[in-house]
Amino acid sequence: MQMDVKEYVNLLHDLKVLERKIAYIFEERLGISLTRFQIIKYLYEVDVATPKQLSKILEIDAAAITRHINKLEKEGYVEKSRNEANNREVYVRITETSKNKIDQCTEETDISQILGNKFTDEDLKQLIVLLKKFNNNLI
């Protein structure tokens, strides 16, 4: 069965709506946006990164990364410092506040709290496989 353009457009719209809903629920429950949580989670894993590295890894444009970092710094989640060898380069690292937030999210968050109990583990695994397939095969 071949999908027509209208069906593709509807699929893309549904994906966009789903992403917004999940991001909203995540932020409501955990008090931090999903994007900002991804930033501090990545920094938790690597200890320090430049905004350019964050932009590349998270596939978010540089200007948006800068806005997120500035907001995270203001809220005490990250600290910025200059590279002493290259004053133009900025390093970003997480603070204890971030580490505590990640620990809290890990301990208190059950995926069913975010998605509800209408999805089985198998449903989520299938979604992950399909999303990876789409992401790996699109330019």
Q: In terms of pTM, does the model score above 0.85?
A: no
> What is the average pLDDT value for the chain, to the nearest integer?
85
- The larger pLDDT score, comparing residue 101 to residue 63, is at 63
Q: Where is 91: in which H helix or E strand?
A: strand 90-94
**pLDDT tens, residue by residue, 83-102:** 888 878 899 999 988 887 77
Tell whether the model's pLDDT for residue 108 goes beyond 70: no
Mean pLDDT of 113-134: 81
pLDDT category at 19 given cuts 50, 70, 90 is confident
Mean pLDDT of 102-119: 68
